Amino acid sequence: MRAITSVARVVGLQSADLRFQSSALYVDPSMVKEKLDSLSREQLAEFLLLSWHPIVELEQLTLASTKEAKEFWEKMLSFFERRKRLHLGPFAMPETADLGELARMRVLDEKAYTTKMRDLWKELKERAGEDQRVDYWDFIGGSDFAQTIVRAQLVSFLVSYGYANLLRTGNSLFLVPKAKPDPHLEGSPLSFPIPITKEALVRAK
Amino acid sequence: MKNEPAYYNEKVKRAAHMLFFKRGRVPGARSWELKTGLGKGYAKVLEQLDESLKDLDLEVKKVDPQIVSDYKPRPDDGEEESRYFVRLKGTLAPKEARLCGWRIDNLAALAASLALVVSKQGKSERKEIETVIGNKAGRWRALTLMDTFLRSGYLEEDEEGLVKLGWRTRAELDLPSLMMLLAESKASPTEDIESIDEDHASMDG
């Protein structure tokens, strides 16, 4: 009986093989490999597109998928259980932070940049007084190096946006405030890089 | 008799809902589902739906199980196992395929995989397919693409680790046309590197 079953199976397989060979799909594997190696990606993609009729399907949330998601959620371990596996040590509870704290952490600025610029422009006008100008290095000097850099950056914007002019007389640089901002609509006519090193600041003092 | 067209219209609408909206992992509907939802004359309803979809370049496609990959004889209740889909009647232009999220690389890799599996009489070793894709798309990409094709149903992997054509290939691909195009093709002299680079830049996934 087993022998007959085996013979039937062999005949079945031979029949399947014959049907395959007689179908339009029968191609010599080595020829296919050769073709695949020689054809470009564009050609292969084009052949696929010419034989491809994609299915139209509309995805939506189903009752079955919702149930599956609910089960997953219910079986999922708590956040603290999952965290234990990572051996991250004690967990610090999240705390709230106010604007002042965020500003101290330098995440946020207490003042908007434009407000800072206007304040500096006002300060520049006051310090210029009757001379109508202030020494650049004197003006940008802050309480520390970081503060000096911040002021220098703000001054660069004051000059670029037409709130002040930068004059160069010999080796000295002067800032001349304008009564009204006069922006260069076509952009700044020139760039003037000023390297701010600690040595330069010491020299200025 | 007087109400027959209206009766049919309702059935056609219901058939459209059953075929368009995905209710499980695989889109479309099985014969028995359609029989339950539309009655014994569901085939006639589907013919009507097919007729209505023609103007939209869509069609109803019946897919028999395992007709290509295994050449298993159809069971007596084969009709009960058939699945119906709505698919594009015509084909997509390369630009449309790109808009659907398909890269040239992916299309070429799919064409190569399918051609190889077909040439191997419906079953091929995974490593062999990955090597062929790797020649076109790179080794790492070949591994990802292989997983994508298996996940989306273009290919299936059996218990022995052999890869065969999946349900989506049976539903979407005109394999005789693909094999014919491949057999009749001539290699292009050089690959259009520029267009591939552009494709890399514009598409992902």
What is the predicted pLDDT for the residue at A144? 85
Query: Hey, which of A161-165, B74-78, B201-205 has the most confident mean pLDDT?
Result: A161-165
Report CB contact under 8 Å: A44, B111. Answer: yes
**What domains sit in chain A, N to C, each tagged with a CATH number?**
113-204 (1.10.10.580)
Q: pTM to 2 decimals?
A: 0.56
Q: Is A86 exposed, middle or buried (0-12, 13-18, 19+ CB in 10 A)?
A: exposed
- B112 with B171, same domain: the answer is yes
- Given B88, B121, B152, the domain boundary residue is B88
B100, B70: one domain: no
Burial of B26 (0-12, 13-18, 19+ CB in 10 A): middle
B18 and B83 together in one domain = yes
Is A52 at the interface with chain B, CB within 8 A? Answer: yes
Is residue B201's pLDDT more than 60? no
B83, B106: one domain: no
Q: Chain A: nearest CA to B154, how far in angstroms? A: 11
Could you tell me if B98 and B193 lie in one domain? yes
Considering chain A, what is the average pLDDT of its residues? 82
Q: Residue B9 — φ and ψ, nearest 5°?
A: -55, -45
* HEC assignment per residue over B42-95: HHHHHHHHHHHHHHHCEEEEEECCCCCCCCCCCCCCHHHHCEEEEEECCCCCHH
SS3 assignment, position B29: strand
Q: What angle, 0 to 180 degrees and rounded to 10, lies between the N-to-C axes of helices B175-184 and A41-50?
A: 140
pLDDT at A170: 84
Q: Where a domain ends, among B88, B120, B152? A: B88
Considering only CA atoms, which of A197, A108, A114 is closest in space to residue A161?
A114
Query: Are B71 and B118 within one domain?
Result: no
Domain range for B23 is 4-88
B1 Cβ under 8 Å from any chain A Cβ: no
Q: Which CATH number fits the domain that encloses residue B147?
A: 1.10.10.1210
**Last residue within a domain, chosen from B73, B88, B103:** B88
Q: What are the pLDDT tens digits along chain A (205 aa)?
A: 778 877 777 776 666 555 555 555 677 888 888 889 899 999 999 999 999 999 998 877 777 778 888 999 999 988 888 888 777 788 788 788 887 888 888 777 767 788 888 899 999 999 988 888 999 999 998 888 888 888 999 999 899 888 999 888 888 889 999 988 877 666 666 777 888 877 777 766 6
B169 and B119, same domain (yes or no): yes
B27 touches chain A (CB under 8 A): yes
Across-strand partners of B124? B163
Assess whether B156 and B115 both reside in one domain.
yes
Dump pLDDT digits (tens) for B79-105. 557 999 999 999 999 888 888 888 888
Of A27, A45, A57, the CB nearest to B179: A27
Q: Chain B contacts of A54, Cβ < 8 Å?
A: 87-88, 92, 100, 172
> Which among A15, A32, A66 is the top mutation candidate for probing chain B, defined by the most B β-carbons within 10 Å of its own β-carbon?
A32
Q: Could you tell me which of A111, A89, A88, A84 has the C-alpha nearest to residue A100?
A: A111
Neighbours of A20 (CB within 10 A): 15
**Disruptive mutation site among A44, A66, A67 for chain B (greatest number of B CBs within 10 Å):** A44
Is B16 an interface residue toward A (CB < 8 Å)? no
The C-alpha of B130 sits at a distance from chain A's nearest C-alpha, in angstroms, of 13
- Strands (E) located in chain B: 29-30, 58-63, 83-88, 123-125, 155-157, 162-165
ipTM of the complex: 0.82
Token code pair at residue A178: 């304008």
Question: Going by DSSP bridges, is the β-strand pair B155-157/B162-165 parallel, antiparallel, or unpaired?
Answer: antiparallel
Question: Touching check for A16 and chain B: CB below 8 Å?
Answer: yes
Both B43 and B98 in a single domain? no
Minimal CA separation from B153 to chain A, in Å: 12
**B99 & B71 share domain:** no
Number of domains making up chain B: 2
Same domain, B124 and B180: yes
Number of separate helices (H) and strands (E) present in chain A: 10, 3
Does the pLDDT at position B156 exceed 90? yes
Task: Answer yes or no: do B82 and B171 share one domain.
Answer: no
The confidence score (pLDDT) of residue B193 equals: 39
